[in-house]
Amino acid sequence: MSEKKALAKIRDAVVNLDWEGIKAACKEAVDAGIPAYKAVTEGMAKGMEIVGQKYENNEYFLAELIMAGETMKEGMTVLEPNLKAGDIKSAGRVAVGTVRGDLHDIGKNIVAMLLNAAGFEVIDLGVDVPSEKWVEAVKEKKPSIVGMSALLTTTMVEMEGIIKALKKAGVRDKVKIIIGGAPITQEYAKKIGADAAAKDAVEGVGICKSWVAGK
């Protein structure tokens, strides 16, 4: 099988949410001597791009996004042992988490998954993350982007506190801040001093990609 065909097979397995077929497609590629990083970047990541487009066009919905992520995970079980350190150049480092008082993680998990697929190194801080943990993450892990999520109107106020804490620690200007979640608007982002708001995970990843590309 040609390299082009093998990579297309992996891409299509992600697009078609074929989590049973993806392992076989990845194994075929590895057995054919195709570098694992190519299977990730030119197979699976391309597939996730198409899934993202389908989501934006309302052809796919949240369930399909989650399923595509699970499909990728299955493929990675085959590819990961064959990946060499430094094979895939990181697009950038992003710290993501759900703010203090909020335990919702579906949106955050989808963002993390899509960021991974786009080549970002993701630092997942989890849920119910207090401002001091955000400050610590920025100081120690040195991400270039911070992505905060809140699903409740009662917890979205936490975002402003986190930005203030980052300013107080002298690290606010070292990161771009993007916020997301059901109650979040561009107006709110502006009001609290965030750099952007995303209506969904696909848009959020697009914004992060444009930032690292310097657009």
Confidence of residue 86 (pLDDT cuts 50, 70, 90): low
Opening angle at CA 99, ends 95 and 102, nearest 5: 135
pLDDT tens, 73-83? 899 999 988 88
Question: At residue 176, does pLDDT exceed 90?
Answer: yes
CA distance 35 to 39: 7
- Residue ranges of domains in the chain: 3-82, 93-212
Q: Residues, the chain, total?
A: 215
77 burial level (CB within 10 Å; 0-12, 13-18, 19+): exposed
* Radius of gyration of the chain from its Cα atoms, rounded to whole angstroms: 18
Same-fold call for 3-82 versus 93-212: no
Q: Does domain 3-82 have CATH number 3.40.50.970?
A: no
Quote the pTM value: 0.79
What CATH number does the domain located at 93-212 have?
Answer: 3.40.50.280
- Look at 53-62, 142-151, 158-167 and tell me which has the smallest mean pLDDT: 53-62
Question: At residue 85, does pLDDT exceed 80?
Answer: no
CA distance 109 to 93: 16
- Per 3-state DSSP, the chain is made up of helix, strand and coil in percentages (nearest 5) of 55, 10, 30
Tokens standing for residue 8: 């297309």
Strand order in 196-198's β-sheet? 121-124, 93-98, 145-149, 176-180, 196-198
